[in-house]
C-alpha cells in the first residue's frame, strides 16, 4: 500500500463507476502518524490531508503549509465548541458539523472573520448512541437551520458502523444529500473507499492504507 497505490485504486474506482477522472478527492488522514511518514507523502506531491484533533493539527501543519504551498487540511474529527475558533483558522473544511450549538458558534466566527471553512454535516446513519452526527430524521431541519445562518454547507459526511456492510449507509447518505441539494459526500475509509466511490463519494478519507497502522501509544 501507500499513496501511489491508493491513488491508482481511487482512479480505477472512478472509472468503474463511470465517473470523471479526478471527481473524487483523496484525503490522506494523517492523525497520529509520525512526521516522517507525512513528509514522505507531501514530497510525493500530495496536498490534501485530514486531521482529527485540533491541537495536534495546530502543532504540525503551520510549518508544513509554509514548506509545501497549496496544502489543504480538513478537520474530520469531533469538534468541541471551545476549539471552534482555532479550527476555523486552521482548516479549509470541517466535516463534522453535528449540532445546533456548533452551527451557531461557527456562524458567529464566520461573521467576525468574513470567511468560513467549507462545512459538511455529519450524519449518524447507523444511529449509534456513542457516535456523533445528526440523526437521519433530524437532518433536513438541521440543514435548513444552518443555511438560515448563512453557513457554507457543501455536503454530508458519515462513518458507518464498524460491524455492518457500509454500502447501504453510503447509498442512504447520497440520497439525503441529493434531497437537500448538497453536492459533497465525504464517505469511505481504508477498508471501504471503493464502495463509497461507487455510491457517489466526492471525498474519501484514507489513513492507514496510505501511511500504515496508527500507533496511538507513541503519540
Ligand X SMILES: *Cc1c(COP(=O)(O)O)cnc(C)c1O
Among 121, 139, 154, 206, binds ligand X (CB under 6 A): 206
Q: Which of residues 65-84 bind ligand X (CB under 6 A)?
A: 76-77
Residue nearest to ligand X (CB): 207
Query: Contact, 209 vs 1, CB < 8 A?
Result: yes
What is the rounded distance in angstroms from the CA atom of residue 26 to the CA atom of residue 10? 8
Looking only at the bridges linking them, the beta strands covering 48-51 and 72-75 are parallel
Nearest approach, Cβ of 193 to ligand X (angstroms)? Answer: 8
Q: Which of residues 43-62 bind ligand X (CB under 6 A)?
A: 52
The yes or no reply on residue 38 touching ligand X (CB under 6 A) is: no
Size of the site for ligand X (CB under 6 A): 13
DSSP string for 131-194: S-SB-GGGHHHHHHHHHHTT--EEEEE----TTS-SHHHHHHHHHHHHHTT--EEE---TTTHH
C-alpha cell at 175: 440520497
* Nearer residue to ligand X within complex by CB, 116 or 208: 208
The yes or no reply on residue 184 touching ligand X (CB under 6 A) is: no
Q: How far is CA 114 from the centre of its chain?
A: 23
| Of 37-45, 126-134, 170-178, 201-209: span binding ligand X (CB under 6 A) | 201-209
Among 41, 75, 189, 198, binds ligand X (CB under 6 A): 189
Query: Contact, 90 vs 123, CB < 8 A?
Result: no
| Of 83-91, 164-172, 195-203, 207-215: span binding ligand X (CB under 6 A) | 207-215
Query: Which stretches of the chain bind ligand X, using CB under 6 A?
Result: 29, 31, 52, 76-77, 159, 189-190, 205-209
Amino acid at each position: 500500500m501507500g499513496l501511489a497505490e491508493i491513488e491508482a485504486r481511487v482512479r480505477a474506482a472512478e472509472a468503474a463507476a463511470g465517473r470523471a477522472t479526478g471527481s473524487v478527492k483523496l484525503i490522506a488522514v494523517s492523525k497520529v502518524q509520525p512526521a516522517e511518514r507525512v513528509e514522505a507523502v507531501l514530497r510525493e506531491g500530495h496536498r490534501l490531508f485530514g486531521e482529527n484533533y485540533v491541537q495536534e493539527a495546530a502543532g504540525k501543519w503551520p510549518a508544513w503549509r509554509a514548506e509545501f504551498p497549496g496544502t489543504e487540511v480538513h478537520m474530520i474529527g469531533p469538534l468541541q465548541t471551545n476549539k471552534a475558533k482555532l479550527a476555523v483558522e486552521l482548516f479549509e473544511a470541517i466535516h463534522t458539523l453535528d449540532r445546533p450549538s456548533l452551527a451557531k458558534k461557527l456562524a458567529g466566527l464566520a461573521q467576525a472573520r468574513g470567511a468560513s471553512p467549507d462545512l459538511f454535516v455529519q450524519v449518524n446513519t447507523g444511529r449509534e448512541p456513542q457516535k456523533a452526527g445528526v440523526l437521519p430524521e433530524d437532518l433536513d431541519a438541521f440543514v435548513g437551520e444552518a443555511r438560515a445562518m448563512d453557513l457554507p454547507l457543501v455536503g454530508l459526511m458519515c462513518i458507518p458502523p464498524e460491524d455492518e456492510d457500509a454500502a447501504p449507509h453510503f447509498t442512504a447518505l447520497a440520497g439525503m444529500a441529493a434531497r437537500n441539494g448538497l453536492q459533497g459526500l465525504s464517505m469511505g475509509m481504508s477498508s471501504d473507499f471503493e464502495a463509497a466511490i461507487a455510491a457517489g463519494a466526492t471525498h474519501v478519507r484514507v489513513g492507514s492504507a496510505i501511511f500504515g497502522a496508527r500507533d496511538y501509544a507513541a503519540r
